[in-house]
Structure 1
Amino acid sequence: MTMKLTKEQIQFIDTYLENSDVVFADIRMEMVDHVASDIEDRMRASTTSDFYNVFKGYMVQNKAQLLKENKQFLKSADRKIWKAFLKEVLNPLTLLIFLTSFGGFYFLYSNFNIETFRLIISYVPLIGLSGFLLTYVVYHKVKNLKRFSVVERLAMPFLVFYQIPNIIFNFSYQAKDLMTVLWILGIVSIVLTLMLVLVRVSIKLFKSYEKQYKTLA
């Protein structure tokens, strides 16, 4: 006997999972497909076709495992981010951004005083942070997308890169000789480059999710 769940029943599963702290839409979609398939199998094998009773029995047995899988999906999201990040780092455009950044910072150092140089360095963290926030606002507020695991996990690497320039800013007080300055320029340029890479990765992932989960927007 064919037993397919209705749209209302599938939506009920989705809402139940969302209320059970499976907050990310991409993770829920995979779980809903899995749960719906199992419920259909149980309803075919059962003497009753009452969806809610079958669903209740299924969740009593499997809810803990589903929530455990939710955590595994989040780890998978982190791996996806770093894989996309590494791929973008190896893009020839990344080297061009680094060289441009280094040349720009060296020009500032050569043509302005050390205080102006240090002031510019202090703004570096805001560049990457602003890029991510603007991207996040555009895709979540303007385009009104649901919450996606990979998208929100991007906040962590941005936070890491946000902190590094603050350390360099304090170290820049020791910029007494050219070699030290060049080291500072190099590190700041690398951090700025990686921030811009993360912005590019963010935009690509946002577009990918917008296309893949368009029905959820």
Structure 2
Amino acid sequence: MKLTKEDIQFIDNYLDNSDVIYADIRMEMVDHVASDIESRMESGDMRGFYYVFKDYMVENKAQLLNDNKQFLKSADKKIGKTFLKELKNPITPLLFLALCIGFYVLYQNSSLETFRACLSIVPLIGLTGFILTYVVYQGVKDNKRFSVVERLAFPFLAFYQLPNLFLIRTRELNETSDLFWTIGGASLALTLMLVLVIISVKLFMSYESQFKNIT
């Protein structure tokens, strides 16, 4: 016994109204719920879909909402694994080295005020990258919400604050060690944010392919 498209859409709407807001999580839950209801109907429950569904949700809604929380934790783990994988990419340390050289050349050929001004925009570079990728992705997907996509905001926020720790050391820069810490810190922060932009694009493309049939 197979459910109709209208039945499937009814399940999706119900979960959406029950605060399962992310389309990827909801899609997996819809498949699970639909399969269980079909099994019940095939096992001899002769009632219509609505009545079987109603009883099923009475029994299982609490567990489904708990599963929703577990899916969000899985999304964070997926981001972490993808991020670590990208850090191991040989291009990442080369990017860090290039940024260090670039900041050092900037320090040697500009005033301290100019150097500090350039460092101060480092957080905005990563933030702008995330906003642009997120806005573009949301536009492609007609504003559908995906768990991994939105959870990316948390590491971006953390790395956004990181350069401020090193900007404090640019007040004097009397010691060579202060200069190295400042340049290294700013380069590290910018590298991490650029890596996040890269994995954002990769995850967006993965979701676009995986969930392209979501209506």
Q: Do they superpose with TM above 0.5?
A: yes
Question: 2:100 is matched with which residue?
Answer: 102
For residue 148 of structure 1, the aligned residue among 146, 149, 163 is 146
**Structure 2 matches for 1:81-120, cutoff 5 A?**
81-120=79-118
Tell me, what secondary structure is at the counterpart of 2:25? helix
Listed one character per residue, the Cα deviations across residues 7-48 of structure 1 (whole Å, up to 9, x for unaligned) are 110111011001100011110111111100111111122442
Q: In structure 1, what is the equivalent of residue 205 of structure 2? A: 207
- Aligned pairs, how many? 215
2:64 equivalent in structure 1: 66
TM-superposed deviation, 1:96: 1.3
Q: Is the 8 A contact 1:17 1:28 kept in 2?
A: yes
Which residue of the partner structure matches residue 22 of structure 1?
A: 20
- One-letter amino acid of the structure 2 residue matched with residue 206 of structure 1: F
Letter paired with 2:194: L
Matched, 1:159 2:184: no
Match of 1:172 in 2: 170
Query: Which one-letter code corresponds to 2:180 in the other structure?
Result: L
**C-alpha separation between the residues in 1 aligned to 2:81 and 2:44?**
44
Amino acid in structure 1 at the alignment position of 2:65: L
Q: Take 1:161 and 1:4, find their aligned partners in 2: how far apart are those partners?
A: 48
**Which stretches of structure 1, 4 residues or longer, exceed 6 Å deviation after superposition?**
none
Name the SS of the counterpart of 1:182 in structure 2: helix
SS of the aligned residue for 2:3 comes to coil
The offset of 1:145, in angstroms, is 5.3
Unpaired runs of 5+ residues, structure 2, are none
Matched residue, 1:124: 122
Aligned: 1:192 with 2:190: yes
Against the structure 1 CA distance between its residues 47 and 84, is the aligned structure 2 distance closer, same or farther, given a 3 Å change threshold?
Answer: closer
Query: RMSD of the TM alignment (CA)?
Result: 1.2
Contact kept, 8 Å, 1:4 with 1:40, in 2: the verdict is: yes
Normalising by structure 1, we get a TM-score of: 0.96
